[in-house]
């Protein structure tokens, strides 16, 4: 999947999605695009190097996903206990979409509970 299609997919997940470039002040961070739900990150990648998308994931799924798919590895600058990295250039579109929606739902559900 290309960068623009992925961006459009993230924005289509719900009206509560925000996108920002929050790391402009950091060296090598100015091109990192982050997608948020309820003010919390669920997906991010470097626009200048679209080779890893970092996504939240259930810890119990991570090792199985890594074993099953070569396109899944460690995230960029996040805990590998709760995040995965996925290569959008080699990942099947259906897998990338499923894992992105999963990440969105993990974050949204967590913070909906907190908000109540």
CB 10 within 8 A of CB 20: no
pTM exceeds 0.85, yes or no: yes
Bin 13: left if φ > 0, else alpha if -120 < ψ < 50, else beta.
Answer: alpha
Average pLDDT over the chain, rounded to an integer: 94
Domains of the chain: 3-115 (3.90.1150.30)
pLDDT attached to residue 24: 84
Task: Name the least confident of 4-13, 18-27, 40-49.
Answer: 18-27
Per residue in 16-43, pLDDT tens? 999 999 988 887 788 999 999 999 999 9
């Amino acid at each position: 999947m290309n960068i623009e299609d992925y961006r459009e997919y993230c924005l289509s997940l719900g009206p509560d999605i925000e996108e920002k470039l929050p790391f402009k002040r950091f060296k090598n961070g100015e091109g990192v695009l982050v997608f948020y739900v309820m003010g919390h990150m669920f997906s991010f990648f470097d626009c200048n190097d679209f080779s890893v998308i970092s996504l939240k994931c259930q810890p119990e799924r991570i090792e199985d996903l890594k074993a099953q798919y070569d396109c899944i590895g460690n995230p960029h600058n996040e805990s590998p206990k709760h995040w995965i990295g996925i290569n959008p250039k080699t990942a099947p579109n259906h897998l990338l979409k499923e894992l992105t929606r999963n990440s969105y739902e993990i974050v949204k559900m967590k913070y909906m509970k907190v908000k109540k």
